[in-house]
Amino acid sequence: MDKSKFGKRYEGKVAIVTASTQGIGFSIAERLGLEGASVVVSSRKQNNVDEAVEKLKAQGIEVLGVVCHVSNKQQRKNLIDKTVQKYGKIDVVVSNAAANPSIDDILQTQESVLDKLWEINVKSSILILQDAAPHLQKGSSVVIISSFTAYQPPATMAMYGVTKTALLGLTKALAAEMAPNTRVNCVAPGFVPTSFAAFLTTNDAIRKEIEQRTLLNRLGTTQDMAAATAFLASDDASYITAEILVVAGGMPSRL
C-alpha cells in the first residue's frame, strides 16, 4: 500500500474511533490520521493503547490514546472529556467495538450473553454518541461498523448478526435525528482476517470456502474497511447520510 497517495481530506478534523488499537479500528484511525486528522484511539487495555499510539506517532500522526471499555460509563465519559480538553471539538466518531461471545443457537443463548451482545454491540454505540453529541461540529459525521452478517445472520453467529442488523436501523434512526448538522452512515464489512475472525480465517478449508463466496476471490483487508469509512466520514460523502456501504467483495447482502 502506497500511503503517500492518500489525500488530506481530514486536515483540521478531530476523529474518535472506538476499539481502535488493532484490526479494523486501528486501520481506520491510521487512515484518518494519514489524511490529516487528529485521532483518538482507545480500547480496554492500557498497553494496547500505548502500543497503538506509538505506531501512529511513528507515522507522523497526531494522536491521543485513552483507555475505554465501551460498556464502562466513566471510561466513555473520560474518552469524550479528554478529546475535548485536548482538541476542543469532535468532527468524526467511528463506533467500531463489538463482541461475539457465543456460537450457540439463539434459543440456547444464555441471558447474560444476550445482555453482553446488546450492551457492547448496540447500547454502547448509542451511549457514546449521547456523550459526544454536544461537541459534534456542523458538518460532522458518524460511522457505525456493522457487518454483512446483518442481512442474513449465519447460524454460527446468529445473535451477533442480529445485533448487527439492529445497527442498520440505528443508522437510519440516528441519521434522521442528527440531521442536518451530522451525517450518520454505516459500513458493513465482509470477512477480514483479524483476531476477531481468527476462528474462521485461520482454518485453511474455511478460509478457502469464504474466499470462494466472494466475487473477488479474497478476504477483505482492514485497509479496505478503512478506505470505505474514510470516504463516508469525509466531505466527499457530504450528500450521503442514512446509508449502509457493504464492503464484502460482492458477497450476497441486499439488492
CA nearest 19: which of 71, 90, 91, 62? 71
Closer residue to ligand NAP (CB): 69 or 235: 69
> Which one of 189, 228, 241, 247 is in contact with ligand NAP (CB under 6 A)?
189
- What proportions of the chain, in percent to the nearest 5, are helix, strand and coil? 50, 15, 35
Is residue 185 a contact point for ligand NAP (CB under 6 A)?
Answer: no
The reply to whether 160 belongs to the active site is: yes
Burial status of residue 223 (CB atoms within 10 A of its CB: 0-12, 13-18, 19 or more): middle
Looking at residues 110 to 149 of the shown chain, list those that interact with ligand NAP (rule: CB under 6 A). 120, 145, 147
| Residue 37 touches ligand NAP, criterion: CB under 6 A | no
168 binds ligand NAP (CB under 6 A): no
| Nearer of residues 77 and 137 to ligand NAP, judged by Cβ | 77
* Phi and psi at residue 186, to the nearest 5°: -140, 140
Residue span 69-88 as binding mask against ligand NAP, x where in contact by CB under 6 A, dash where not: xxx-----------------
In the complex, minimum distance from the CB of residue 242 to ligand NAP, in angstroms, rounded to a whole number: 19
Q: Is the dihedral of CA 148, 152, 157, 161 positive or negative?
A: positive
Stretch that binds ligand NAP, among 54-62, 67-75, 132-140, 173-181 (CB under 6 A): 67-75
User: Could you identify the residue written with the cell 444464555?
Assistant: 110
Euclidean distance between CA atoms 167 and 162, whole angstroms: 9
Q: Looking only at Cα atoms, what is the longest distance across the chain?
A: 50
| Contact residues for ligand NAP, defined by CB under 6 A | 18-19, 21-25, 43-45, 48, 68-71, 96-98, 120, 145, 147, 189, 191-192, 194-197
Active site residues: 160
